[in-house]
Structure 1
Amino acid sequence: MTIRVALGDDDTAFRAAAVGLLEADARFDVVGAAADGEELVALVERTGPDVVLLDLRMPGGGVVGARTLADLDVLVGRRTPPLVVALTAETAPDVVEEMLRAGAVGYLAKGRIGSSLGDLVARVHDGELVLAVPTARLALRRLLREEPHTSVASP
């Protein structure tokens, strides 16, 4: 079974590199890439990917983008929304926690993934929660304990 992936990132070079890594892997069909949240939502509505890689810092990305994508089942009648994976340089535990609360099932720090991107995406598709970020433990502790924290505004 081929995993259909959409990518949203406003960094042209990174977007091209990530698409290239995934397209070189027979497990994936990259259905498209977008430079902002509005374009990404339209792409997802049109192509119905299994997994969406979402940059937090692109316009329309972050928590708002994750919530919008998580609600697509309601908005466009999909049986299930796509699996949302944050793909970002932002590693603050508060942001990781916010993305998990918004429905993300993965959080990948751009500087830590390299050639392992395909394996990480496949693991998310197979049902794992994948947190490839140095602050994952703290974010999960906070989330599980429901500890109060100061929210970090996400774009």
Structure 2
Amino acid sequence: MSRVRVLIADDHPQMLAAMVHVVASDERFTVVGTATNGDDALQLAREHDVDVALLDVRMPGGGPSAVTAFHSLPSPPAVVAVSAETTVSTVAAMVRAGAVGYLTKGRIGETLPEVLAQCAAGEVVLATGSGAGALRLLVDG
């Protein structure tokens, strides 16, 4: 079975290093690139065959516009948002833009590999306490 190719983008060096460590330590994944802003992440996704892009919501060039830009690629990766920001409106905005996953930064060590694996397999995973509220907001409009 081939490994899931993951691109990781976060503007905080310690968080980026932690996510790279967690992902690279799992034999299901290969980290194909890292970036500290949305523009560099998008460029790396153009250059590499990326299955999943793990994107910080609040980094420069991040947020819903970054997710939308990833969906313009010929073979768009599954986008998983990661953030300390867990408001219903933020989660809903990322899902509305096309993110298939949302993970609270405080849960990186315990859930990141499973969230990535599930999203790579086509599932939607909102691993944040506000996920249900975000879905209600999206459904109710």
Same fold (TM over 0.5): yes
Amino acid at match of 2:138: L
Identity of aligned residues (%): 44
1:75-94 paired onto structure 2 within 5 Å? 80-94=75-89
Deviations 1:103-136 (CA, angstroms, capped at 9, x unpaired): 0000001012323211110011111100001111
AA at the equivalent of 1:58: M
Deviations 1:42-66 (A, max 9, x none): 1110012100001011100011111
Determine if the alignment matches structure 1 residue 99 to structure 2 residue 94: yes
**Structure 1 residue ranges without an equivalent (≥5):** 74-79, 147-155
Q: Compare CA radii of gyration and give the structure with the larger one.
A: 1
- 2:105 matched to which residue of 1? 110
Aligned residue in 1 for 2:3: 2
Q: Gaps spanning 5+ residues in structure 2: where?
A: none
1:4-153 paired onto structure 2 within 5 Å? 4-73=5-74, 80-146=75-141
How many residues are paired up? 140
Aligned counterparts of 1:115 and 1:96: Cα–Cα separation in 2 = 20
Secondary structure at the counterpart of residue 20 of structure 2: helix
How much is the aligned-residue C-alpha RMSD, in angstroms?
0.9
Instruction: Indicate conservation of the 8 Å contact 2:87/2:130, yes or no.
Output: yes
Structure 1 residue ranges (4+ consecutive) displaced by more than 4 angstroms after TM superposition: none
